[in-house]
Amino acid sequence: TNNATVTQAGESRSAPIESLRALAALSVVVAHVFGAAHDYRWGYLSGSFAHRMLYGGGCGVYLFFTLTGYLLFWPFARRHFGDGNRVDLRRYAVNRALRILPLYYVVLVVAMLVQADGGTTAQWVRFLLFGQNFSSATVARVDGPMWSLVVELHFYILLPLLAVGLARISRGVPARAAAGLIALALPSLFVHRSEERRV
């Protein structure tokens, strides 16, 4: 049913949305495997409809991020705009850290040793501090998909601050909060379009 929930690390979430999120993640994995198997040769990847569907699964990352944002923001929205309980920020932080950091650092060490001949000091510093996206020398290097974890970590950190800021600015009125979100989204869309044209 639409009201079905699952519990992950003490957090209750919508089962249908979690299922859709899992499909989005799976489509990204399939796209990367398919692309790597054909050396990302665009002529082959854009050939048949089936090829385009498989490789196009990489766009599932946007759906994954959107659904993740919805699921994580929902408790804050209930707290500030409904009758929800106070969000346990300590549990939130621990859950987010355990979700990303252990596996990230294991993969990073292996990738640095195997794919980057041990890496440079600058690479180690940027990757250890999740700063590789901010330098052309490290973005999409060593392990390309790691860029998404940088975005995810920054989102986790900024989300509680965004929730509190929206609640204060809107004074608990949902319509004002929605207007605030739109006001934040428009500049980011403009920056994204500008970057696309520049590239």
The CA-atom distances, in angstroms, between 156 and each of 51, 96, 131, 178, 191 are 34, 7, 15, 20, 21
Q: How many helices (H) and strands (E) does the chain have?
A: 8, 2
Cα–Cα dist 35/58, whole Å = 10
Among 5-14, 42-51, 174-183, 185-194, which is the least confidently predicted range? Answer: 5-14
Residue-averaged pLDDT of the chain: 84
The per-residue pLDDT for 196 is 59
The per-residue pLDDT for 13 is 73
pTM of the model: 0.72
- Is residue 199 pLDDT above 60, yes or no? no
Please give the backbone phi and psi of residue 9, each rounded to the nearest 5 degrees, phi first: 50, 40
Instruction: Please report where in the chains the tokens 């940088």 appear, as a residue.
Output: 150
Neighbours of 192 (CB within 10 A): 10
How confident is the model over 66-106, as pLDDT tens digits?
Answer: 898 888 888 888 888 877 788 888 998 998 999 889 999 99
How confident is the model over 31-51, as pLDDT tens digits?
Answer: 888 888 888 777 777 778 888
The per-residue pLDDT for 8 is 66
How confident is the model over 113-142, as pLDDT tens digits?
Answer: 998 888 889 999 999 999 999 888 888 788
Instruction: Please report where in the chains the tokens 């640095």 appear, as a residue.
Output: 112
